[in-house]
Amino acid sequence: MTGRIFDIKHFAVHDGDGIRTTVFFKGCPLKCLWCHNPEGLTRPKQLAYYEHKCISCGECATACPAHIISENGHIFDRTKCDGCEQKEVCLCEPLCLGGALKHYGRDVTVDDLMPELLADVDFYKNSGGGVTLSGGECLLQADFCAELLKSLKAQGINTAVDTCGCVPRASIEKVLPYTDVFLFDVKAIDGDVHKRCTGVDNALILENLCFLDSVGAKNEIRIPVVPGYNNGELPKIYEFLSKLKNITAVKELKYHNLAGSKYEALKMENNLPKST
């Protein structure tokens, strides 16, 4: 069994308690206007091109016809690029001398990941940290996540699942026995506001949060606060949360729009609100 990830972040301090290693999974059911991980929105592999870093060395063109070196510099023809979807590794990124190319998406097994995740075990134990699965939405790959979390728990590692909650309940049930805490995003209570900001209704999300609470799962609530979009939802969110019994913390996350360069590099539509 394999899972598809786009990054691993060591020494993370905002993805649960203590010092953690966060594994970012590719693919998400939401399209939040303020998403700062656009490389995690879709499941297919992607190649980002940061034009300002390109030195027109031509190395990438030797490996892939999508790259053309002309008198005007480097031309990247995305119509010829499939992100090396059927290949284990990207052909052109390792050749880029200027660091202008960044490949997002690789398929891994649990055995591939465990040595890297266990490398910082002393930091986990000394800080009360562990490993967090994030995304995108990691629970779109629930079977793989359950296998990975089970292996981590067998090694005595604290585990956290960062989720938007927009997944079938069965997906949550698969990881529930191996998850110490859920980092659960709540973006709005009003369904229309939620759909306007994320593209989907929030009924399933709130149902899943209530389910987790009902079975005694620990939940840390994370609220991205975006002025002019969902900040008016805060009183409703806190009223909703006041009825739940297993909330360990509530954190309001300040918005920033620093991900604009990634949208441009991936040639994805950028709807990031302006920072205030």
In degrees rounded to 5, what are phi and psi of residue 24?
-100, 120
Residue 12, judged by CB atoms within 10 A of its CB (0-12, 13-18, 19+), counts as middle
pLDDT of residue 276: 60
CATH class of 3-37+109-256: alpha beta
**Radius of gyration, CA atoms only, the chain:** 20
- Interior/surface letters 218-253, b for 16+ CB within 10 angstroms, e for the rest: bbbbbbbbbeebbeebeeebeebbeeeeebeeeeee
CA 62 to the chain's CA centroid: 32
**Per-residue model confidence (pLDDT) at position 99:** 96
Q: Which CATH class is domain 46-104?
A: alpha beta
Cis peptide upstream of residue 216 (ω within 30 degrees of 0) = no
Spans of all domains in the chain: 3-37+109-256, 46-104
Q: What is the largest CA-CA distance in the chain?
A: 65
The Cα-based distances of 235 to 200, 220, 221, 243, 254 in angstroms read 21, 18, 14, 13, 17
Question: How far apart, in whole angstroms, are the C-alpha atoms of residue 6 and residue 34?
Answer: 19
CA–CA dist 12, 102 (Å, integer): 21
Residue 71 has a pLDDT of 81
Give the sheet arrangement for strand 20-25, strand by strand. Answer: 106-108, 3-12, 20-25, 130-134, 158-163, 181-185, 219-225, 247-254
Q: Encoding tokens for residue 130?
A: 């562990």
Q: What single-letter amino acid sits at 87?
A: K
User: Residue-wise pLDDT tens for the chain (276 aa)?
Assistant: 999 999 999 999 999 999 999 999 999 999 999 999 999 999 999 999 999 999 999 999 999 999 998 888 899 999 999 999 999 899 999 999 999 999 999 999 999 999 999 999 999 999 999 999 999 999 999 999 999 999 999 999 999 999 999 999 999 999 999 999 999 999 999 999 999 999 999 999 999 999 999 999 999 999 999 999 999 999 999 999 999 999 999 999 999 888 999 999 999 999 999 876
Q: Specify whether the CB–CB gap between 145 and 153 falls below 8 A.
A: no
- What pTM, to 2 d.p., does this model score? 0.95
CA 204 to chain centre: 20
Fold agreement between 3-37+109-256 and 46-104: no
